[in-house]
């Protein structure tokens, strides 16, 4: 544990005001010492990381549509969609859910490219 965290945890004090209900929030893995607790104390463990969202498109579909659009590399997709290369990579590997607005843009690009009729010579 970093010394800064230790200092942070040791500086926690119970909020005290007579006749008022107060909330104190602690962040970290350590619980405050037993002296810090007062009656009516609730400890809640929250999930870590980004909130999970339902993907509007699967990673496989995203990759397949990208191939159909001629995106050979992650940076091609990132450039067209105006997103970071790391973000697109996370979409492709399924490490991050693809939000609805991105899925719509990708599908719109696919439908626009399939509606283009090649000129005959």
Mean per-residue pLDDT over the chain, rounded: 75
Global pTM value:
0.54
**What's the pLDDT tens digit per position in 51-84?**
666 778 999 999 999 999 999 999 999 999 999 9
Q: Please report, for the chain, the start and end positions of each structural domain, with discontinuous segments joined by +.
A: 1-46, 59-114
Q: Nearest 5°: phi and psi at 58?
A: -80, 160
């Amino acid at each position: 544990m970093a010394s800064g965290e230790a200092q942070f945890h040791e500086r926690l004090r119970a909020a005290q005001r007579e006749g008022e209900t107060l909330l104190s929030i602690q962040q970290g893995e350590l619980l405050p010492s037993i002296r810090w607790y007062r009656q009516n104390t609730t400890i809640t463990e929250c999930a870590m990381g980004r909130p999970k969202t339902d993907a509007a498109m699967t990673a496989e579909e995203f990759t397949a549509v990208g191939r159909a659009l001629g995106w050979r590399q992650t940076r091609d997709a990132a450039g067209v969609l105006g997103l970071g290369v790391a973000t697109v990579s996370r979409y492709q590997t399924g490490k991050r859910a693809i939000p609805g607005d991105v899925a719509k843009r990708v599908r719109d690009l696919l439908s626009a490219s399939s509606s283009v009729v090649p000129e005959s010579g």
